[in-house]
Structure 1
Amino acid sequence: MILEAIKKEIINHAGELVDIRRKLHSEPELSWEEYGTTEYVFNYLTELGIGCRKTEPTGVIGELVGAKPGKTVALRADMDALSVEELTSDLPYRSKEQGKMHACGHDAHTAMLLIAAKALVSVKDQLEGTVRFLFQPAEEVATGARAMVQQGAMEGVDNVFGMHIWSQSPTGMVSCTAGPSFASADIFNIRFTGRGGHGAMPQACIDASVMASSFVMNVQSIVSRTIDPQQPAVVTVGKMTVGTRFNVIAENALIEGTVRCFDPTVRDHIEKQLEVYARNTAELYGGTAELEYIRGTQAVVNEAESAQLARAVAAEAFGEDALYHEEPTMGGEDFSFFLDEAPGCFALVGAGNPEKDTEWAHHHGRFNIDEEALSTGAELYAQYAYSYLNKK
């Protein structure tokens, strides 16, 4: 199923793979600001002889046409960094940009896909079909994938594959399970409005802080009492802004939170219930409430045949012992918008190693990866594409 020439090519360029990742790590760019990364990727693919184009305002789509006609498989890597201050001051390749950091591994994804592209170019004469490379901006704000789709990234694509480096799992381990993998991730904002006044005269006021506090205390019953316990769901209130000073009863309160689940009907239900709970809570105290519900990423649901192919490729490339099962996470991933356009799957590649201090959580200021995992990810990208196009 796999091609040994690809494995050898990845091994031969392992040093370059690390160098690319370190360069990108030291030069992080936030969502929709990935201009330098876009230029670097575009030039790299062009030098490989891969036809490519830039998307607006950032991002790159490359296409490698094999020697024989066939299907088209897309490989995706995200490129954006986070507004996180890097705390790993001892790293020679630490971020040069204050307050910006590749704290989620997107630098690794970009580097792995570039070397995968190089490996696939070397076996172009053995490819039966086309490989499309999607270097995506703005995953961290859940808008990049949709923008790329709107700019034609998935036109003519038969299958799509992506991955995420995973610090919670041991280096080199691979998980790709059929079914739900990442949850849908939505944002809600609720504004409670009452009547402000002097803190010594509550009888003349309608306290927005009481409304908001009551809502926060009761909203968890949406999950615990209105949803099937076998359907995972999370409602989190992450921020509450209320009041102006200690002796003024608040007229306004703003609550911000997120909703995570896997089932579309559960998603619809929670949205409706948030409005019901907010409105009834406000009415109870004589105020009003207004809900803004913003749908972010969809749930990432791995298509069964694609997930099986990824597992088979990983088992043959790295051994059966490299496979493991990662439970679905309530984290969000906008790879879901690519899966709306074609079947495919999303894998996790372990990069956690306590001896190298690479088990910090994603989005933490000390996040780092065991760079031994880079070759695993690069080969998985390339071998998946080859196996999908050449399978009989």
Structure 2
Amino acid sequence: MIHAKIKEAIQIYSEELTQLRRQLHSEPEVSWEEFKTTQFVCEYLDKLGISYRKTEPTGVIAEIQGGKLGKTVALRGDMDALQVEELNKDLPYASKEEGKMHACGHDAHTAMLMIAAKALNEIKEELPGNVRLLFQPAEEVAEGAKALVKQGAMEGVDNVFGIHIWSQMPANKVACSPGPSFASADLFRVTFKGRGGHGAMPHACIDAAVVASSFVMNVQTVVSRTIDAQQPAVLTIGKMVVGTRFNIIAENAVIEGTVRCFHPETRDHIETQLQHYADQVAAIYGATAKVEYTRGTQAVINEEYSAKLVQKVAVESFGSDAIYNEKPTMGGEDFSEYLVQAPGSFALVGSGNPEKDTEWAHHHGKFNIDEDALATGAELYAQYAWAYLNE
């Protein structure tokens, strides 16, 4: 199932892989600003002789044409950084951009996919099909995958595979189970309108602060009292803006939050209940409510065949002890947009190592990875493509 030349190539290029990742890490670009990163990838593909096209405004779709007829498998690596200040100032490859850093591992994903492309390109005449390479922008704002799909990324693709470096897992472990992996991630805004007035005369007002506070306290029962306890869901209020001055009764209050779950029925139910709770709470106090619900990423549901193929590849490449049972996360991932177009799976590759201080949470200013995991990810990309095309 695995190709010996791929394994050998990944090992030979492991130092280059680390250098690619470090260069990307030192020059982070946030969502929709990945112009230098896009050019960096294109120049690398030029050296390899791999055909590609840039997507708008950033991103790259490339393709390795196999020497034999067959299916097309897509491999996705995201490229964007975050607006997070790097706290690892002592690293020789620390971010050079103030207030920006690769705090989620996308620099690793890009580098791993670049080296996987190099290894696959060297055996392209043996490939019974094609490998499409998706260097995706703007994952952090959940827009990049949709943009690439609209620009033809999944046309003619039979299967799609992605990887995420995961600091909560031991380095070099691989997790990919059939079923839910990442939750859907939606946003909502609730605006309450009361009647403002003097802080000394509350009887003449409708206090939006009281209305909003009541909503915050009561809306959690949507999850705890209206959803089956065996259907995981999270409803988080992350922001509340109310009032303008200490002695003025607030007329307006705005609440923003997020909803995470795995099942469409649960998602629909929570959206309906948010409107119901907002209307009823507002009515109690004589206020009004407006609810805006925006559906973000869908849940990442690994197709059974693809997930089991990942497991088989991981066992043959790295040994049976490489498989790790990681529970589904309530985090969101726009890789789900590709799974709407074709079956596939999304794997986690562990990068946590206490001895190297790489167990910090994703999106934290001290986030870093055990770079030994880079070779694991690059080989998993390439070996999966080989295995799928030969199935």
Q: Classify the TM-score, shorter chain.
A: over 0.9
1:289 & 1:99 partners in 2: Cα distance? 36
2:295 & 2:43 partners in 1: Cα distance? 35
Question: Is 1:376–2:372 an aligned residue pair?
Answer: no
Between 331-340 and 42-51, report the one with greater CA deviation: 42-51
SS in structure 2 of the partner of residue 255 of structure 1:
strand
2:251 & 2:60 partners in 1: Cα distance? 48
Q: How does 1:127-206 map to 2 (within 5 A)?
A: 127-206=127-206
> How many aligned positions are there?
391
SS in structure 1 of the partner of residue 388 of structure 2:
helix
Look up the match of 1:126: 126
Question: Is 1:50–2:72 an aligned residue pair?
Answer: no
Look up the match of 1:19: 19
2:9 & 2:189 partners in 1: Cα distance? 50
SS in structure 2 of the partner of residue 186 of structure 1:
strand
Question: Is 1:116–2:116 an aligned residue pair?
Answer: yes
Look up the match of 1:238: 238
* Aligned-pair CA distance for 1:47: 1.6
State the one-letter code of the partner of 2:2: I
Q: How does 1:268-307 map to 2 (within 5 A)?
A: 268-307=268-307
SS in structure 2 of the partner of residue 185 of structure 1:
strand
SS in structure 2 of the partner of residue 125 of structure 1:
helix
SS in structure 1 of the partner of residue 341 of structure 2:
coil
Look up the match of 2:357: 357
After TM superposition, the score normalised by the length of structure 2 is 1.00
- How much is the aligned-residue C-alpha RMSD, in angstroms? 0.4
SS in structure 2 of the partner of residue 340 of structure 1:
helix
Question: Is 1:218–2:218 an aligned residue pair?
Answer: yes
2:55 & 2:210 partners in 1: Cα distance? 48
* Aligned-pair CA distance for 1:46: 2.0
State the one-letter code of the partner of 1:99: G
Look up the match of 2:64: 64
1:226 & 1:150 partners in 2: Cα distance? 37
State the one-letter code of the partner of 1:129: G
Segments of 4+ moved more than 2 angstroms: none
Q: How does 1:247-286 map to 2 (within 5 A)?
A: 247-286=247-286
State the one-letter code of the partner of 1:286: G
Look up the match of 1:227: 227
Question: Is 1:73–2:73 an aligned residue pair?
Answer: yes
Unaligned runs of at least 5 residues, structure 2: none
1:204 & 1:124 partners in 2: Cα distance? 77
2:147 & 2:212 partners in 1: Cα distance? 35
* Aligned-pair CA distance for 1:234: 0.4
SS in structure 2 of the partner of residue 152 of structure 1:
coil
Unaligned runs of at least 5 residues, structure 1: none
Question: Is 1:7–2:20 an aligned residue pair?
Answer: no
Look up the match of 2:88: 88
* Aligned-pair CA distance for 1:96: 0.2
State the one-letter code of the partner of 1:338: Y
* Aligned-pair CA distance for 1:42: 1.2
State the one-letter code of the partner of 1:94: A
1:283 & 1:44 partners in 2: Cα distance? 61
1:275 & 1:254 partners in 2: Cα distance? 14
Deviation string, structure 1 residues 292-321 (Cα, Å, up to 9, x no partner) = 101100000000000000000000000000
Deviation string, structure 1 residues 322-370 (Cα, Å, up to 9, x no partner) = 0011100000000000000000000000000001000000000000000
State the one-letter code of the partner of 2:194: G
Question: Is 1:37–2:37 an aligned residue pair?
Answer: yes
SS in structure 1 of the partner of residue 69 of structure 2:
strand
SS in structure 2 of the partner of residue 70 of structure 1:
strand
Identical-residue share of aligned pairs (%): 71
Look up the match of 1:308: 308
State the one-letter code of the partner of 1:256: E
* Aligned-pair CA distance for 1:390: 1.2
Look up the match of 1:323: 323
* Aligned-pair CA distance for 1:74: 0.1
State the one-letter code of the partner of 2:313: V
Deviation string, structure 1 residues 229-268 (Cα, Å, up to 9, x no partner) = 1100000000000000110000000000000000001101
Question: Is 1:339–2:339 an aligned residue pair?
Answer: yes
* Aligned-pair CA distance for 1:29: 0.2
1:360 & 1:216 partners in 2: Cα distance? 30
Between 219-228 and 365-374, report the one with greater CA deviation: 219-228
* Aligned-pair CA distance for 1:7: 0.4
2:18 & 2:198 partners in 1: Cα distance? 62
* Aligned-pair CA distance for 1:43: 1.5
